[in-house]
């Protein structure tokens, strides 16, 4: 019996590590450190998302009016800041480019990003968005540390600057182990970093719009249970005092 349990535990551990490795391709992710309760960060992230990502990607489960309510934005602010296509306030976030056109241009269709923070995780997204480096063998001129031979062009090369990969040879194969900036961008590194964290925070929010509510509800539930435990314990003491 012990052996069976031990084998099962080993199997679960192996599957888990396998999944993590498959997700990051072996490259270590960096912590995104995002705060989905920070409304200013989410608002900035929403703006970056609509400015830089909605041209190719959609977020088909996300409606503009929902974002406005959750982030405390007015209708006119939302329409001018986020809605590039000028669609209705109640519409979902659709991409400017059609999937077919994008697939022809980039070799792969840009996936819908509504749930990407849940499928990939915020750390993966942060590492991905800061992980583009110059690679002349690619048609886009760039590759990515965590998504080898990615079809997506490096959207932020002007802001971030040009980065080169640092390689290490392992069993006769060259592996990327890091990146370094070789040409400064228009943004200071900290400024760029904040922009990417805001963007990842927004992606985390759209992946689960209820998460702030869920977390605060959880706290109230715990407080209730704590008080209830006190009451129940006092009652138990009272009921049993004649028995002892």
Residue 52 as a binder of ligand HEC (CB under 6 A): the answer is yes
Point out which span in 4-12, 17-25, 111-119, 206-214 binds ligand HEC (CB under 6 A): 111-119
CA dihedral 116→55→128→169, nearest 10 degrees, is 130
Cα separation, 72 vs 203, whole angstroms:
17
Residue 110 as a binder of ligand HEC (CB under 6 A): the answer is yes
Closest CB 41 distance from ligand HEC, rounded Å: 15
Q: Which of residues 142-171 bind ligand HEC (CB under 6 A)?
A: 150-153, 155
Cα separation, 50 vs 57, whole angstroms:
9
Cα separation, 169 vs 102, whole angstroms:
35
Cα separation, 198 vs 38, whole angstroms:
9
Residue 56 as a binder of ligand HEC (CB under 6 A): the answer is yes
Binds ligand HEC (CB under 6 A): choice among 27, 29, 50, 120: 120
Point out which span in 38-46, 77-85, 121-129, 229-237 binds ligand HEC (CB under 6 A): 121-129
Q: Copy the structure tokens of residue 203.
A: 């992606």
Q: Count Cα atoms within 13 angstroms, Cβ side, for 230.
A: 5
Cα separation, 232 vs 148, whole angstroms:
58
**Complex with ligand HEC: residue 130 or 243, whichever CB lies closer:** 130
Q: Copy the structure tokens of residue 15.
A: 């599957």
**Complex with ligand HEC: residue 95 or 238, whichever CB lies closer:** 95
Positions that interact with ligand HEC (CB under 6 A): 52-53, 55-57, 102, 106, 108, 110-111, 113, 116, 119-120, 125, 128-129, 150-153, 155, 199
């Amino acid at each position: 019996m012990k052996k069976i349990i031990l084998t099962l535990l080993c199997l679960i551990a192996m599957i888990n590590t396998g999944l993590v490795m498959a997700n990051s391709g072996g490259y270590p992710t960096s912590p995104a450190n995002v705060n989905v309760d920070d409304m200013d960060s989410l608002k900035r992230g929403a703006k970056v998302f609509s400015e830089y990502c909605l041209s190719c990607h959609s977020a088909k489960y996300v409606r503009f009016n929902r974002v406005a309510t959750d982030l405390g934005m007015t209708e006119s602010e939302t329409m001018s800041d986020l809605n590039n296509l000028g669609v209705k306030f109640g519409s979902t976030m659709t991409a400017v480019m059609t999937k077919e056109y994008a697939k022809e241009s980039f070799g792969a269709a840009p996936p819908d990003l509504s749930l990407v923070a849940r499928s990939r995780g915020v750390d993966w997204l942060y590492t991905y968005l800061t992980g583009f480096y110059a690679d002349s063998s690619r048609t886009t001129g760039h590759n990515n540390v965590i998504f080898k031979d990615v079809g997506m062009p490096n959207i932020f090369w002007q802001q971030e600057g040009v980065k080169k990969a640092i390689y290490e040879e392992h069993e006769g194969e060259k592996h990327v182990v890091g990146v370094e900036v070789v040409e400064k961008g228009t943004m200071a590194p900290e400024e760029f970093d904040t922009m990417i964290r805001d963007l990842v925070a927004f992606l985390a929010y759209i992946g689960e719009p209820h998460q702030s509510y869920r977390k605060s509800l959880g706290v109230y539930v715990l407080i209730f249970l704590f008080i209830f435990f006190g009451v129940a314990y006092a009652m138990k003491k009272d009921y049993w005092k004649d028995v002892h």
